[in-house]
Structure formats: structure tokens, C-alpha cells
Amino acid sequence: MSEKPSAFLSRRGGATTLCFAVLALIPPLAGWLHEPFLIRQFIQIMAMGLAAMSLDLILGYGGLVSFGHAAFVGLAGYTVGILDFHAGDGSLFLGLIPGTTNALIAWPAAIAVSMLAAALIGLVCTQAGGTVFFMLTLAFAQMVYYGFSGWTLYGSDEGLSMGGRSELPLLDISDNTNFYYFCFAVLLLCFLAMRAIVGSRFGMVLRGVRQNERRLAAVGVPTRPYRLAAFVIAGGFAGVAGILLANYQTFVSPGDLSWTRSGELISMVVLGGLGSLIGPVLGAAAYLLLRLVIGSYTTHWAVVFGPFLILVVLFARAGLFGFVVRGREV
Amino acid sequence: MAEPILQTTDLVKRFGGLVATDHVSLSLVPGELHAIIGPNGAGKTTLVAQLSGEMAPTAGRVRFDGQDITDLPMPRRARLGLVRSFQITSICPEFSALDNVAMAVQARLGHSFHFWRNARTDPALIMPARRVLEQVDLAARADVPAGLLSHGEQRQLEVAIALATEPKLLLLDEPMAGMGREESQRMVSFLQTLKRRYTILLIEHDMDAVFALADRISVLVYGKVIATGLPDEVRANPEVQHAYLGDEAEEAAAAEAANA
């Protein structure tokens, strides 16, 4: 990194392009292999990958270890699910808001809910740093979790089934291939947006926060507003991921916003490579595919995954993405 | 005498029964290089922390540039132009030297809620940052991660970061800390070039440096300013000789005794 920054950057760019190229080729590959199941699997990978990428924004760049990130993913999913539920029986949410299956209404609402929740939770959590921040995010996420698992109208622990995917004008996303390419486009756009953010002045402050907060304060940058803004932005992107995930599953449940899901997201980020944005997508792919493959032999798949994660952390500090980038170095 | 740019009135800081800052009243005029010296444990670090805004005084006021800043936190003071460097190097180790300085430029230009434009190719940040690096002789090391610079270079970078904020008052906390003889001399001649262009409050251990640079010197002992004046006056002050230089002599004797 120190010696040839331009070569490093181009390798990084090359690896990123390769990742997206592979993702773009999954549907024809699935057709060729007669494995339509692959399309569904990779929709899930892209949705979880986007959630992990949004976590990387605060975890990898800002050094903010949030253990409640799944809450923002799940809140957006529930927003889509609840609006779908009320559209189904014509009732009103809280006796006030009619339901809808229209993506152009439901999705912005879902993102707004995630960002609003992130703003409220972040307002409290960003007062502290380190372990306290970590514990506070976990505590709030658990509150959200118990809120939904006790909400009988929306299925409590059982979760809430949707009538189908949201409806978009011009594009029928109930078709899996269409939905696949739609998710691909969303992932790409979100990646480009986040990459711009981490390279901007805001992003430089965020990276500085992780490295040396006192230094920033000494030159006149009060760090808290930036930490809070990053938390809200990450919450918004997590919301986008939640929308994709809910539509992929046509089902939402408290499991989507549980602390174990937050832990999975952290695993994906660490596995894929902190502070690389695209790495977490690789991490999500590795995590979900490993679970699929090993899970077909044993239900105790974590026994294999755990040591694997430890090995990656020990031998590839920069995660799988760092390994890929380094591995091409001569 | 001109209106002071920095003035403390009866500044007191107590930690339980210990009085670390004992009614310190300092006054700096614009353009001067004022040095604060004192033996170890005199309360220099505590004083710096109160001037920079990291620590609230128990009593007393701090005025800067015509404004009471006693209750302002460090970032607000920095934006008013009261900017410090750290005794123990405080940089962003993964950022390049240039990034570190550009961050200070960015802070000076206002808030950083700019989300799209690439900061590393923004001439409004990069050009002033490069100029400052040239000033401190680090231009050739601009792209090296700051954590990989030598100790001396990191000390230079520390000063460069402070300069890039275009401060009205530079608060330099032992800029020569941990430097070799040659590096120290280079830093002294560099500070010589800053003199008159900036108002500087220099906290320093290195006596040669202080007497070579300072317009006025204040001597801090046990939290108290026991003398303030021109270098020659301070040197001749019997109280200073007793309290400060005597202390060092005693320390030296103690060290010798320990070695024997």
C-alpha cells in the first residue's frame, strides 16, 4: 500500500470489477447448469452483502463496532411487510396509514423508517465510543427485536408472510431473473455511492475518527456529528438491503433483526475485509455458500466456519478481499 | 502594549488535594514567542490541556482573541485559531503525510459534510497541504503513511498539521520531544522562521532551544508562575535559579547517587 499506491488501487479496482462481472454472469451460468436455484442463492448473497457493505461503512471505515446493524435491515423489511399486510386486507396501520404493495411508496417509506430509527438510536449511542457504543447498539437492537416478536398482529415470533414481491412500474420483479438483475443494479449503485462517500471529505473525517479522534478534535473537527451522520447513512443503506431481503423471502420475521443476524453481518465484514466495501460482499458469499455446502453434511456447520474465520483473521488481516488483491501481486 | 491575544486570569486546576495549576495569569501579545519552562511535574501538561480545551479549569478564565473561551471545547477553540501540537505525536497513522495535513486544511475550510467529491483529488485541499509540507521539508515524504515516518519526521508533521489550520496562536507542546541533537537544531531553526509570522506559546524542556527562541519566558514551578520576563531577566532571577535550575542540580546529584 505504501510503495505503489496507484498499482494497488488499480488492482483493487480490477478485483472489484471482477466481482461484479462474476455476479452479472450468474443467471446465464445458472441457466447453463440447469440450476435456477443459484439465482435465488445469489440474490440472497447480494442482499446480505449489501447489508454487510453498509455495516462496513461504519465498522471498517469509522471503527464504530455496531452490534445492532440487523435492526435497520429488519425494520425496512418489516415496513415493506406491514404495508403489504395492510394492502392485503384493506385495514390501516395503527388505524391511520393504508397499506400498499407499490414499491415506489413502500420502499422510500422503508428507507425512511430505517434512517429515522438510526437517527434516534444513534443520537444516544454516539455519545459514547468503544465498548459502550457496542453495548448500546446491541441493547437498542434487542428492544426492536422484542418489540416485533411480541407484536401479535404481525405474527410475533412466527413472522409475517407477504402476498408477493412489491410492485414496480415497468419491471416485473416477481420473475427471479428480473429480480436478480434488479438487485445487481441496486448493489452496484449503492457500492458506487458508498465508494464516493468514503472518498469524500466526510469519508476522510470518518476514517480519521477510527485512527485518531483526538487529532481531529485538535484541528477543529468535532467528531460526534460525523459519527452520527455515518450511523444514519449506514442505516439507510441497511434499509435498502432489508427491502431486497424481504422481497427475496416474501417473508419477514424477528430473526431478520436479531442480534445473531447482526453478528453474522460482522462476520461477513471481517471475513471479506474491513474497509473495502466490496470485501463484505465476498464475505457474504463465502459465509452463505459455506453454510449451504457444509450445512448439507452437518447441522453443526459453525464448528467448521468458526475455525475458518479465525484462520482468515490470523493469516489474511485484510480479509478475503485483501487476500485476493495481495495474491495477484508478483 | 498591544491587546493580549491570549490571557488567563487566576487559572486554577485541582486534582483532589493537589493543586496542579495555581492561580496562573499569563498574557501573550500578538507576534511574540512566549515560552513556558518548568521542571518535571510543574504542571505544564495540565496547563496546556486547559488552554487547548481538553480539560476544564477548577477556577479562573481564559480569554482568546477578545473572547472568553473558558467553556469552549477543543474543536471550537481550534476553529477560532487556537491550535495545539502534541507532546506525544498524535497523527492518523494510516493516512499519508499529505492526508494528515489535508485533513487540517479541510477542518479550516469549514464543515466536512461533503459526500461526493473525492477529497484526495480536491485542489482546494491538496495544494495548501503540499505547500505546508514543503515548508516543513516533508514534501518528498508526502505519500508515505504517517505511521511509517521516522520519529523526527512525525514531529515535523505534527507541526505541519497545526500550521495548516492557519492558526492565530500556535500552542507547541514540547515540539522537540524525543528528538536527537541534530533534529532538535533543525526544528529550532524552523521555529525561528515561524517567529513573528505566528504568535507562539512554546512549552519546552530543552533550555538551549528556549533561550535561543523565546521573546519572553514564564517559569512554572509546582503549578505557579514564579517569574515572567525577558530571557536574560529570567536567567538572572535568583528565585528561578533556586527553584528550577537548583532542582535540576538536585536531580542530577540524585541520579549520580543512584548510579554510584
pLDDT at B91: 95
pTM recorded for the entire structure: 0.91
Confidence of residue A327 (pLDDT cuts 50, 70, 90): very low
pLDDT-derived band at A329 (thresholds 50, 70, 90) equals very low
Say if residue B178's pLDDT is above 90.
no
Looking at residue A9, what is its pLDDT?
59
B91-136 tens-digit pLDDT: 999 999 999 999 999 999 999 999 999 999 999 999 999 999 999 9
Q: Name which of A236, A225, A243 is nearest A106 in CA terms.
A: A243
**Cβ contact A273:A280 at 8 Å:** yes
Binding-site residues on chain A for chain B (CB distance < 8 A) = 1-2, 5, 196-197, 199-205, 207-208, 211-212, 214-222, 226, 229
Task: Share the mean pLDDT of chain A.
Answer: 92
Asked if the Cβ–Cβ distance from A200 to B118 is below 8 Å, we say yes
Amino acid in position B101: V
Split at pLDDT 50, 70, 90, the class of B225 is very high
Say which of A197, A199, A211 has its CB closest to residue B92. A211
| pLDDT score at A183 | 98
> What is the overall mean pLDDT for chain B?
91
% of chain B exceeding 90 in pLDDT: 75
pLDDT over 70 percentage in chain A: 96
- The residue ranges of DSSP E strands in A48-132, in sequence order, are 92-93, 97-98
**Average pLDDT of span A307-316:** 83
Flag if A219 and B99 touch (Cβ within 8 Å): no
pLDDT at B120: 94
Query: In degrees, to the nearest 5, what angle opens at C-alpha B107 toward C-alphas B102 and B108?
Result: 95
d(CA A35, CA A103): 29
Residue identified by cell 477542518 is: B107
| Separation in Å, CA of B112 to nearest CA in chain A | 5
pLDDT band at B252 (very low <50, low <70, confident <90, very high): low
Give the pLDDT band (50/70/90) at residue B256: low
- Given CB atoms, is B123 within the 8 Å cutoff of chain A? no
How confident is residue A324, by pLDDT bands cut at 50, 70 and 90? confident
Q: Name the pLDDT band for B42 (thresholds 50, 70, 90).
A: confident
Residue with cell 438483475: A181
Residues A157-215: tens digit of each pLDDT: 999 999 999 999 999 999 999 999 999 999 999 999 999 999 999 999 999 999 999 99
How many CB pairs lie under 8 A apart between chains A and B? 106
Chain B window 86-115: which residues touch A at a Cβ cutoff of 8 Å? 86, 90-95, 99-100, 102-104, 106-108, 112-115
Q: In chain A, where are the structural domains located?
A: 5-325
**Side-chain half-sphere of B102: how many Cα atoms within 13 Å?**
27
Question: In chain B, what residues touch A207 (CB-CB under 8 Å)?
Answer: 92, 94-95
pLDDT in tens, B85-103: 999 889 999 999 999 999 9
- Which range, A190-199, A318-327, B205-214, B240-249, has the best average confidence (pLDDT)? A190-199
Name the E strands within chain B: 6-15, 18-24, 27-28, 33-37, 59-64, 67-68, 82-85, 169-173, 199-203, 216-221, 224-229
Decide if pLDDT at A5 tops 90. no
What is the DSSP pairing of strand B216-221 with strand B82-85?
unpaired
If you average pLDDT over residues B224-233, what whole number do you get?
A: 92
What is the DSSP secondary structure assignment for residue A316, as one 8-state letter? Answer: -
Q: Which pLDDT band holds residue A6 (cuts at 50, 70, 90)?
A: low
Mean pLDDT, range B6-32, rounded to an integer: 94
Q: Chain A residue with minimal CA distance to B125? A: A201
Nearest by CB: B78 against A202, A203, A219: A219
**DSSP symbols for B81-106:** TEEEE-SS----TTSBHHHHHHHHHH
**Architecture of the domain whose range is A5-325:** Orthogonal Bundle (1.10)
Q: Is A150 buried (19+), middle (13-18) or exposed (0-12) by CB count in 10 A? A: exposed
A156 pLDDT higher than 50: yes
Q: pLDDT by residue (tens digit) across A65-115?
A: 999 999 999 999 999 999 999 999 889 998 899 999 999 999 999 999 999
Q: Do A216 and B114 touch (CB under 8 A)?
A: no
Q: For residue A278, report the phi and psi dihedrals to the nearest 5 degrees.
A: -80, -25
Residue type, A114: S
Mean pLDDT, residues A133-137 taken together: 94
User: pLDDT, tens digit, for every residue of A40-65?
Assistant: 999 999 999 999 999 999 999 999 99
Q: Would residue B171 be called left, alpha or beta, if left means φ above 0 and alpha means ψ between -120 and 50 degrees? A: beta
Of B122, B126, B123, B124, the closest CA to residue B139 belongs to B126
- pLDDT over 80 (residue B81): yes
Question: Are A34 and A176 in contact, with CB atoms under 8 Å apart?
Answer: no
